[in-house]
Structure 1
Amino acid sequence: MNYSLIPDFLAMGGLVLVFASLLRRTHQTRLRYWVVGWLMILVHIIAQLVSSGLGEGRIADAASAISLSMLLLTSVTFIWAGNNMQHAWRRDLLLTLLATVPDLAFFACAAYDLESTAIYLPLTLLGMLSTLWLFRGGRCEAERAPPWWRLFSIFVAYAVQALLVLHASVEMALIWMLFSHYLAAAYFFYRGAPSATVGVIFTTLSFAAWAGVFPVADALATVWPQVHFDNEVWNLPKFLVATGMIFTLLEEQMGQAEHAALHDPLTGLPNRRMFVRRFDAALLRAREQSCRIAVFVLDLNGFKQVNDLFGHAAGDALLQAVAKRLQKSIRSNDTLARMGGDEFAVILPDLASTGMIDQLSKKLVGAFSEAIALDGHHVDIEASIGMASYPDDGENALHLYAIADHAMYVNKPVSDKV
């Protein structure tokens, strides 16, 4: 038995427990695929242990076939994890694994040392057709058909596999299959990530290194057979992939926490904390570039009556509708924030003249020109608006906001001044 595999088994078992624990907290479809993939790697290591301890024989060949198959299935699982699907993951996983049956049969035949090309070429053709069906059939990326170059890449990958079967060896074809699959896993991991963070880039490069292990290890064994590398060297990339995945999850959780801390959960707008940050940054830029900025404070009139008449759910829907209308009324570089309750604020930076302030002010007022539909009722809503500008009304953010807030309060109907 190859006892050097025992540390790998223990380390991978620990990683599976870590990913399973993370899955209980996040319930991501992608993370479910990751857990399945690492479980397959664990089975791969167990099969290696069994194969190395049995020597030669049918059971050893079966263990070798299982070990190779788990490597292939792991790559397919990780490829599918990067497709960002919105469907039931069990159904998608079963379809994916079903499409890999020809490739699995290819690996099993190789493990039993079958050498007839009459077996491997049809399996290669079936593997290509099933993979094309899997992708072309809209089973990836939220039912969108993939671009033609992706289908062409699948065709090229299996064409190379067939050429290796014909003109090289089945072993070379196996190495190519594993290399191309893990390289595809690197691509899909990067492609499926919402942004290219450090964790995403690190994991992508680790997947590429994992793919490179298969041809590099074979080339070194052929060119320098006297040079021996421990298992830890070849196993390092897969542990780097696992580390990168955990780091990517950590980045995402931190990003979500930061977004939640700086945005209003009801409307999705920046909250008071984000507003202060952007207001300070806009003032600093205005001083450096000698340009104007304006701040508007808006408070809805009669909002309490809407809550009393239609309920708080309708009041929330009203705030969301107002937020959308105001967002459409401002420029892309402006900031609309919900300051709390029914109060909003807008930062208008980079203003060339006071005329632009008047123009944008009219757009904000126009956002309330039409009634808002709430549960079959049309509600006319108005807002009291106050404004202050830099440098005309002051140079301090707190002072400018106080001026705008006071102007808003002065314009507010007496019935709403509570």
Structure 2
Amino acid sequence: MGGRLAFQTVRINGLVRHAPETGVAQKIAPRILAQIKRLQKDIDPFFQPVPSHLFLVGCSGCFLLDQGLSRQVKCGRKTMKHIILGWEKTVTKSVEYAESIIDTVREPLIVLDQDLRVVSVNRSFYAVFKVKPGETVGQLIYDLGNKQWNIPKLRELLENILPQKTAFDNYEVQHDFTTIGRRTMLLNARQIEQRKGMPRIILLAIEDITVRKEMEQEIKRLAYHDPLTNLPNRMLLTDRLNMAKILSDRNQKKVALMMLDIDKFKEINDTLGHHIGDLLLQVVAEKLTGILRKEDTVARFGGDEFVLVLPDQKDVQTALKVARKIINAFRKAVVLEGHALTITSSIGISIYPDHGEDVDTIMKNADCAMYRAKQAGRNQYHLYNEECRDGTIQPEPHL
């Protein structure tokens, strides 16, 4: 409208809002009008300042109403300049006050416009992600930190999910940042309405849950793994064995189960101490892991007993070949803190479904075969058979 203001009521209450038109017009100096427009434009809608005054501009000049609307002070056009300066100062203080509150939020916050360009961020964002204001405000979010924020899952959230909803919470994203390393984040996004006729802005709150996820992983590891050898424990072994059985039924393949016991391990503990015994268990775990395939499982069953699960076996010969590898791998002496130890083991083998139709039976038959190997002189493997069940010892020869 140039220098003529068909103004209505102007109220600053977080956002600049316009009441219905009053149908009045007043000649306003272009410089003062520009100041008013600039104030309206520059007020950050996110921080929502709340100054204490209401202004009414009409044909009889400018009226200043206090917060309770209980008195009116008529002012001319000249006095209006001082009112605008006071208005600007009040808005600035309100913005600074609101910004200081937002900066106390520990989670990083980003405000985006509809083009996904950064309007504002809080202090925590700068601290956590090691970026500077000059590299942030006005930038496309994907370009932040030399395009470190060009994250496919973030694009999915902002471009596909959020446009269909006003809010979306607990959107988990993992990403490797050049500056701060790998992070796991929960993103909470909101579309926020501005005053009528203005596009929405997007508030993105970022919760860094990296430490929490690491703790959860550690708790899970401790629940399913042996703390000494870091091998699967009995609980995880049962899950793996059940899964191998299901796949065996589906693919018409066999599952080999081996029970391995370190020969005369008690003597090592009694003569050299439990510390050397623990070191020996770790060596055995490492050797067994190195022999098996990635899809196989080796678990510590308890004490000096280990269980090996070999899924997807065509026939029993493959399992026997692995048993021979284990026997041969243990022949070389191991030196632990100056003590040269020769490890031997007794291994019992059972095959699913040849030697049992359920997990408990297969485990029991492998254990039986292992004790038959011990009775036959140790340092050998024994394949379960009917003679084993009947008490007749017929160990398989090993190479």
Please give the TM-score of this superposition, normalised by the length of structure 2: 0.53
Contact 1:189–1:200 (8 Å) recurs in 2: no
Question: What is the distance in 1 between the residues matched to 2:271 and 2:339?
Answer: 11
Contact 1:75–1:181 (8 Å) recurs in 2: no
Partner of 1:140 in structure 2?
A: none
| Per-residue deviation, 1:355 | 2.0
Question: What is the distance in 2 between the residues matched to 1:354 and 1:361?
Answer: 11
Question: What is the distance in 1 between the residues matched to 2:12 and 2:306?
Answer: 67
Distance 1:76 1:415, change over 3 A: farther
1:161-219, Cα deviation, whole Å (9 max, x unpaired): xxxxxxxxxxxx9312777338956457989xxxxx96227986948x68xx8xxx9xx
| Per-residue deviation, 1:313 | 2.2
Partner of 1:389 in structure 2?
A: 351
| Per-residue deviation, 1:296 | 0.5
Partner of 1:261 in structure 2?
A: 223
Query: Helix, strand or coil for the counterpart of 1:200?
Result: strand
Distance 1:78 1:183, change over 3 A: farther
Partner of 1:282 in structure 2?
A: 244
What letter corresponds to residue 175 of structure 1 in structure 2? Answer: G
| Per-residue deviation, 1:379 | 1.3
What letter corresponds to residue 227 of structure 1 in structure 2? Answer: G
Contact 1:386–1:405 (8 Å) recurs in 2: yes
Q: How does 1:288-307 map to 2 (within 5 A)?
A: 288-307=250-269
Query: Is residue 237 from structure 1 mapped to residue 191 from structure 2 by the alignment?
Result: no
Partner of 2:324 in structure 1?
A: 362
Contact 1:301–1:413 (8 Å) recurs in 2: no
Contact 1:262–1:271 (8 Å) recurs in 2: yes
Question: What is the distance in 1 between the residues matched to 2:290 and 2:371?
Answer: 25
| Per-residue deviation, 1:249 | 6.3
Contact 2:257–2:310 (8 Å) recurs in 1: yes
| Per-residue deviation, 1:413 | 6.1
Query: Is residue 331 from structure 1 mapped to residue 381 from structure 2 by the alignment?
Result: no
Question: What is the distance in 1 between the residues matched to 2:274 and 2:289?
Answer: 22
Question: What is the distance in 1 between the residues matched to 2:212 and 2:318?
Answer: 43
Distance 1:285 1:415, change over 3 A: closer
What letter corresponds to residue 351 of structure 1 in structure 2? Answer: Q
Higher helix content, 1 or 2 = 1
Question: What is the distance in 2 between the residues matched to 1:63 and 1:179?
Answer: 28
Aligned CA RMSD, in angstroms, stands at: 4.6
Q: How does 1:15-94 map to 2 (within 5 A)?
A: 56=88, 60=92, 63=96, 71=121, 73-79=123-129
Question: What is the distance in 2 between the residues matched to 1:271 and 1:69?
Answer: 52
| Per-residue deviation, 1:344 | 0.1
Q: How does 1:159-308 map to 2 (within 5 A)?
A: 174-176=137-139, 180-181=143-144, 186-187=149-150, 199-200=172-173, 206=187, 226-228=196-198, 234=201, 236-238=203-205, 241-242=206-207, 245=208, 253-308=215-270
Question: What is the distance in 2 between the residues matched to 1:414 and 1:334?
Answer: 28
Contact 1:291–1:351 (8 Å) recurs in 2: yes
Partner of 2:340 in structure 1?
A: 378
Higher-RCO chain (CA-CA 8 Å, sequence separation at least 6): 1
Question: What is the distance in 1 between the residues matched to 2:231 and 2:296?
Answer: 12
Please give the TM-score of this superposition, normalised by the length of structure 1: 0.51
Query: Is residue 398 from structure 1 mapped to residue 387 from structure 2 by the alignment?
Result: no
Query: Is residue 410 from structure 1 mapped to residue 372 from structure 2 by the alignment?
Result: yes
Contact 2:225–2:233 (8 Å) recurs in 1: yes
Contact 1:293–1:351 (8 Å) recurs in 2: yes
Contact 1:264–1:271 (8 Å) recurs in 2: yes
Higher strand content, 1 or 2 = 2
Contact 1:186–1:204 (8 Å) recurs in 2: no
| Per-residue deviation, 1:257 | 3.0
Question: What is the distance in 2 between the residues matched to 1:226 and 1:326?
Answer: 70
Query: Any stretches of 5+ residues in structure 2 without a counterpart?
Result: 1-10, 16-43, 53-85, 104-117, 155-169, 176-183, 379-399
Contact 1:71–1:178 (8 Å) recurs in 2: no
Distance 1:181 1:205, change over 3 A: farther
Query: Helix, strand or coil for the counterpart of 1:270?
Result: coil
Query: Helix, strand or coil for the counterpart of 2:310?
Result: strand
What letter corresponds to residue 197 of structure 2 in structure 1? Answer: V
Distance 1:268 1:189, change over 3 A: farther
Question: What is the distance in 1 between the residues matched to 2:268 and 2:12?
Answer: 74
What letter corresponds to residue 200 of structure 1 in structure 2? Answer: V
| Per-residue deviation, 1:343 | 0.5
Distance 1:319 1:187, change over 3 A: farther
What letter corresponds to residue 287 of structure 1 in structure 2? Answer: D
Question: What is the distance in 2 between the residues matched to 1:70 and 1:314?
Answer: 60
Question: What is the distance in 2 between the residues matched to 1:235 and 1:198?
Answer: 15
| Per-residue deviation, 1:369 | 1.8
Question: What is the distance in 1 between the residues matched to 2:356 and 2:278?
Answer: 35
Question: What is the distance in 2 between the residues matched to 1:187 and 1:312?
Answer: 53
Query: Any stretches of 5+ residues in structure 1 without a counterpart?
Result: 6-44, 80-95, 107-126, 128-172, 192-196
